A = this chain, B = another copy of it.
């Protein structure tokens, strides 16, 4: 058994992406951000849909359509259909933000 809040490197020059579960049907990923954001002008445009929750910390997602921003704290979750372009526009620089993401095919 593992713990989602454990084994976080003290140094985190880049965002940390780690598969927790990887099967034909679904992929569960832990992401750790420490002030990291998606590079300006870049958008995630994913073939898979993603259900994502903030487990700890604070972050803002931006969606390309309407440049809509969504502020997220622990427990907040939303579903991002495949090819809905989005970016991480802010994460708290003063603490770790831990995300749980579930990637799957279809919408």
- The 17 sampled A-B contact pairs (Cβ below 8 Å) are A1-B72, A1-B76, A1-B78, A2-B77, A3-B73, A4-B75, A5-B74, A5-B75, A6-B75, A21-B51, A21-B79, A21-B102, A23-B49, A23-B104, A23-B107, A25-B104, A102-B102
A contacts, CB < 8 Å to B: 1-6, 20-21, 23-26, 28, 49, 51, 53, 55, 70, 72-79, 100, 102, 104-107
In angstroms, Cα B76 to Cα A25, docked, is 22
Copies in the complex: 2
Q: Which residue on chain B has the smallest CB distance to residue A79?
A: B21
A1 touches B77 (CB 8 A): yes
CB distance from A96 to the nearest CB of B (A): 13
